Structure 1
Amino acid sequence: MTEIPIILLAAGQSSRMGGIDKLMQPINGIPLLARSARTASAVGPVIVALPPEPNPRYGALDDMDVQIVPVRDAAEGMNASLRAAIQKLPPDASAAMVLLADLPDLTQADLATILKARLTHPDYLIWRGTTEDGKPGHPVVFDRSLFGQLSQLQGDDGAQEIVRKHKDFVHLHPLPGRNALLDLDTPGDWKAWRKKHAP
């Protein structure tokens, strides 16, 4: 399989966590950010969008083979991260995967499944993971023909504008359970997730 670069969006402010950085919360002794980066690194080269330094998230990625992209205007929202990361894609990249860093249930197999869907359904421009019952989520793979549009996005809507614009060229592929959608945005989310995954 040709390696597709993976953009890991990790520059958000954890605004719903009451002053706690959700991406630095430990899971089995590893910050969620590092766990997500390891999962992504198992299937392709990883570009991580981070807030400007100083920030403890940089330390979570020490000794990991990832490319870090500081996002100066991270406070704008998700699209600032997308713009910054798109500029760092290799010129020969035929597609790129976009992935949120706060989805703890996504696995290496899930990411590989969506990358494979791109090869088995080549007549599309966007390949997207869904929950088991079909709700769209992550990861999302974009064909290189959309890179220009991704690099022009503004605000905090992510790439939804582009997905809507090309809705007839989006392939949805189910992943197990709620892996594609379950994020941990609040202390309550974390409490419920940890309770469910307690040994």
Structure 2
Amino acid sequence: LLALFDGKPLVRRAAERALGSRAANTIVVTGHQRERVRGALSGLDVILADNPDFADGLSSSLKAGIARVSAEAAGAMIVLGDMPGVSSADLDRLIEAFRRSGGRSVVRAAHDGRRGNPVLLPRSLFGAIAHLEGDTGARHLVEAGGLDVVDVEIGKAASVDVDTREAVEGAGGVLQD
């Protein structure tokens, strides 16, 4: 998350893109290297959600973020911090599809017809998310939930994440100490 892309930490770049979209608020969940990540976000109008249980896996971060979503929000868009190609325009396309569904469908980014990220989850899934455990996200809830799922083609950005040294360097990033 602290690797530099175009001279900027990846987590800041992701937050700026979320802030540049039509999303009502941007919540950033911090865990590993919390203080360094917070420093990289300095000056941005984001809501910070600390996840002291980050080592327990993805579900703990998802729960920490969902817990900070406004009571008035119809849903929450889950934007991973390690996807350098996702743009504000991509996020807006997901938001628009969610609005067209009346805020009741799961909307997820796709690449060549395959599911990817980000994903926009309707409020109706929030209760089930609160009960997730371990290193699991909401994928099985989406697939078993009986909700309509709308895939929005955003191209390669939906499937490129940089969670290894090789992936960071291959995508043009520079790792920091």
Q: Tell me if both proteins adopt one fold, taking TM over 0.5 as the criterion.
A: yes
After superposition, the Cα gap between the structure-2 partners of 1:141 and 1:101, relative to the gap in structure 1 and judged at 3 Å, is: same
Report what 1:173 is aligned to: 152
Kept after mapping to 1: 8 A contact 2:79/2:117 = yes
Kept after mapping to 1: 8 A contact 2:103/2:122 = no
Q: What's the % identity of the aligned pairs?
A: 31
Counterpart mapping for 1:26-175 below 5 A: 26-43=4-21, 44=23, 45-51=25-31, 55-122=35-102, 124-131=104-111, 133-166=112-145, 169-175=148-154
1:189 and 2:171 matched = no
C-alpha separation between the residues in 1 aligned to 2:138 and 2:147?
15
- Give aligned pairs, total: 171
Kept after mapping to 2: 8 A contact 1:32/1:102 = yes
State the Cα RMSD in Å: 1.7
Q: How far does the alpha carbon of each residue in 1:145-187 deviate from its partner, in whole angstroms, 9 at most, with x for none?
A: 11111121111121112112126521111112x1111001111
- Letter paired with 2:2: M
C-alpha separation between the residues in 1 aligned to 2:30 and 2:105?
27
The TM-score normalised by the length of structure 2 is: 0.90
Q: How far does the alpha carbon of each residue in 1:12-61 deviate from its partner, in whole angstroms, 9 at most, with x for none?
A: xxxxxxxxxxx101111110000000001112211111016753111001
Stretches of structure 2 lacking an aligned partner (at least 5 in a row): none
Kept after mapping to 2: 8 A contact 1:49/1:68 = yes
The alpha-carbon deviation at position 123 of structure 1 amounts to 7.9
After superposition, the Cα gap between the structure-2 partners of 1:53 and 1:130, relative to the gap in structure 1 and judged at 3 Å, is: closer
Kept after mapping to 2: 8 A contact 1:79/1:154 = yes
C-alpha separation between the residues in 2 aligned to 1:151 and 1:104?
28
- Letter paired with 1:126: V
C-alpha separation between the residues in 1 aligned to 2:44 and 2:67?
21
C-alpha separation between the residues in 2 aligned to 1:54 and 1:108?
24
Report what 1:7 is aligned to: none
